[in-house]
Amino acid sequence: MKEIELKAGKRTRVLRTVSGSLAMRYRFQATPTNKDDTLSGTIEIRGSNWIFPRKPTTQKLAAKNMINKRAWDSFYSIFVIADCDVKITFQRSKLNFKNLLYPALFAILMVMIAMIWTLKTRGL
SS (H, E, C) 110-124: HHHHHHHHHHHHCCC
Task: Give residue 54's pLDDT band: very low, low, confident or very high (50, 70, 90).
Answer: confident
Asked if the model's pLDDT at residue 96 lies above 60, the reply is no
- Residue 99 CA to residue 22 CA, distance in Å, equals 9
Asked if the model's pLDDT at residue 63 lies above 90, the reply is yes
Compute the average pLDDT of residues 60-80: 88
Residues in the chain: 124
pLDDT at 122: 83
The model's pTM is 0.71
pLDDT at 97: 61
* Amino acid at site 88: I
